[in-house]
Amino acid sequence: MKHLIAPSLLAANFLTLEEDLIMVNNSKADWLHVDVMDGNFVPNISFGFSIIKQVKSVCTKPLDVHLMIANPEKYIEQFREAGADVITVHYEACPHLHRTIQQIKSTGAKAGVALNPHTPVTVLEDVLEELDLALLMSVNPGFGGQKFIYRTIPKIRQLHDMRVVQNTSTLIEIDGGVGLQNAQELLKAGANVLVAGSAVFKNENPNKMITKLKEIGKDTIFA
């Protein structure tokens, strides 16, 4: 399967959001990544239901909602109603992770679990077959524009091996510091979904950058 590209809304221009969304609609992007931050689980606050609802009314791509919030189980249904197609919660925020995954699925959304950079992928062993998506944070969650943490690469390989052993088709998504400089290596390691915030929206031609990220193949060579 060809990999998916998910530009991250966090890096868009909120004063001209509709233009950025139309650019995404007209691009080769597969999903729009939507980062929700509560100032509690992470040291930053982003946006909530009303913005997501408005984004949904313009965006034709599935919304990949990444909840960087404490007690996400309290809000799953509301995020689904606001327009989330994929809902990802953090392992570190969910004492009853298995139950929360079932809760997400019961809304009809695809279920994802995210891991912080310090969290080993082995914690997903007993829920992997329940998951549509496993998101590996390759920066500390909370901010765009940070440096990619290299240790993520062996984590991708390890998670990919777990997936093979369990014969599951869980997608591996990488979030933070992703761009042309590392995309190919991430895909080679086993990644399926690449989130790109700054790499897309801070580029002078975001649409072209999405195409470049989408067209990377395992054999692409970038000078």
The size of the interface with Zn ion (CB under 5 A), counted in residues, is 3
Any idea what DSSP says for residue 189?
A: H
Of 35-54, binders to Zn ion (CB under 5 A) are 35
Residue found under tokens 């290596």: 185
> Within 36-139, where are the H helices?
49-58, 76-82, 97-106
Cβ atoms of residues 68 and 42 within 8 Å: yes
115 near ligand DX5, rule: CB under 6 A: no
Give the integer Cα–Cα distance in Å for 161 and 142. Answer: 29
Q: Figure out which of the listed residues 3, 33, 56, 155 binds ligand DX5, where binding follows CB under 6 A.
A: 33
For Zn ion, what does the binding mask look like between residues 148 and 177, x meaning CB under 5 A?
---------------------------x--
- Does position 7 bind ligand DX5 by CB under 6 A? no
- Token output for 87: 């809902």
Q: What are residue 32's DSSP bridge partners?
A: 63
The answer to whether residue 175 is catalytic is yes
Q: What residue has token string 């591996």?
A: 172
Smallest gap, in angstroms, from Cβ of residue 164 to ligand DX5?
27
CB 44, min distance to ligand DX5, A: 8
Catalytic position from the list 35, 38, 64, 132: 35
CA–CA gap between residue 141 and residue 135 (Å, rounded): 12
Specify whether 219 is catalytic.
no
Are 174 and 193 contacting, i.e. CB atoms less than 8 angstroms apart?
yes
Of 15-23, 99-107, 121-129, 136-144: span binding ligand DX5 (CB under 6 A): 136-144
Give the binding site for ligand DX5 (CB under 6 A): 8, 10-11, 33, 35, 66, 139, 141-146, 175-178, 195-199
Write out the catalytic residue numbers: 35, 175
